[in-house]
Structure 1
């Protein structure tokens, strides 16, 4: 029997840039999401690194319908269930195992399992998954590594995350096997601490505009 197709047919097509958000205070979730959407970045990955994350995902899902909120740092079946129950519309993991892959597939929402080696990419292709997160992108070889995968593994498409910045994002997006990038450069810590949502929106607009002009 051939492998089942990937359950993530559209994550990579949501937006060219996906902000990766770490929230300590769930009350910041809605104004932050509105700022990102206002700047042209509707796909938002809220990482499950803090206790506030599920509540933040739920708040964005309920109050910002124009946003497509997902969950990152999904590590096991429990975090899959937590994310989906909170309203996550896509899932992103830093790596994968067969158990985690099965849980993400069973969730019914699109997902991006993380890879950093050629063997991991081939293993996912064997399992019918063609859309992946490349993490940690810069540490794992950056654009040169991804470019080298394009010819031998043409079915694989990637969202590089980890070390992607305003300065190098365009280089990733120019690659034929890269559909989008994930990053935090539009979310500087001082702006978040000051709740300067206007600045976040302006940075999001810069990121969106730069990606559209590539």
Structure 2
């Protein structure tokens, strides 16, 4: 198996490692974190350096990397790490849990994470570095932009469009044909019945614009 470097030792890393091991395509070489701590592991995978060590591991022949830093409404760290990895020359594969059901007609960008029990149906498209988390449902002909996070158990009905850097909260529902803008936030448990412009935060049933991030998880 090809070796892969993981970047980020937080909680999201555990979900990725679990799916990575089940997928069986890559062998984790170790985890890069912003602050190195000796003899520290995440699910038996050692922390082997900081961001500054990435070029050294590339020079040693490790060509694959994956960002295991999560995001809730702020994708700037993931974007910065993606740009750094691409500049060095790393390949960012997709990590898809074997329990996920993905139509063969789905188009995937690079560095995508698809977690346990996710369903992505026909003719949908998922952009670079998106996170599609546990048990989310992406119905037919949906489009999800780069760096989006679709949180656990969220449901996108048919022909939904999600702009870049947008977070769809846990157990949110977006009805068919809705367009959600870029850099938007949809709160946990929301039901979205109308289009959402760029940079707008919504929550509730039905979803309405809010000023707080308290319900976004």
> TM-score, with normalisation over the residues of structure 2?
0.28
> TM-score, with normalisation over the residues of structure 1?
0.29
Higher Cα Rg, which structure: 2
Asked which structure has the greater RCO (Cα within 8 Å, sep 6+), the reply is 1
